[in-house]
């Protein structure tokens, strides 16, 4: 697993209080990991800070799963 994926997973586990093995490629933050819509905003904020990137609102809306987040961040860097 890439370094980016590890760091994203750590943020998700800490923020949502879920087991690490639940955070898989297709895990939806809202449907599978128990996030509410405000949690997804906070996750995006946390990703921005961790990776020093800007995630515009329209892009943030496309980040629904753990895999989406890793892919977006890899491309943004």
Partner 1 sequence: MFDLTGKTALVTGASGGIGGEIARALHAAGATVGLSGTRTEPLEALAADLGERAHVLPCNLSDPEAVAALPKQAVDAMGSVDILVNNAGITRDNLFMRMSDDEWQSVIDVNLTATFKLCKGVLRGMMKARWGRIVNISSVVGATGNPGQGNYAAAKAGMVGMSKSLAYEVASRGITVNTVAPGFIETAMTDKLTDDQKSAILTQIPTGRMGTPSEIAAAVLYLSSPEAAYVTGTTLHVNGGMAML
Would residue 36 show up in a list of annotated catalytic residues for this protein? yes
- Binding of partner 1 by 1 (CB under 8 A): no
The CB-of-77 to partner 1 minimum distance in angstroms stands at 22
- The mark string for 13-52 relative to partner 1 (x by CB under 8 A, - otherwise) is -----------------------x-x--xx--x-------
- Distances 6 to 2, 16, 36, 37, 38 between C-alpha atoms, Å: 6, 15, 22, 23, 23
List residues bridging with 42 in a β-sheet. none
Q: At what angle do helices 66-76 and 37-51 cross, to 10 degrees?
A: 30
In the complex with partner 1, the residue whose CB is nearer, 36 or 61, is: 36
Catalytic positions are: 36
The residues binding partner 1 (CB under 8 A) are 36, 38, 41-42, 45
């Amino acid at each position: 697993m890439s370094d980016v994926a590890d760091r994203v997973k750590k943020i998700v586990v800490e923020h949502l209080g879920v087991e690490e093995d639940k955070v898989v490629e297709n895990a939806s933050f809202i449907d599978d990991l128990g996030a509410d819509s405000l949690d997804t905003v906070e996750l995006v904020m946390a990703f921005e800070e961790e990776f020093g990137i800007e995630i515009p609102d329209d892009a943030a809306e496309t980040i629904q799963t753990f895999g989406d987040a890793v892919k977006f961040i890899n491309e943004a860097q």
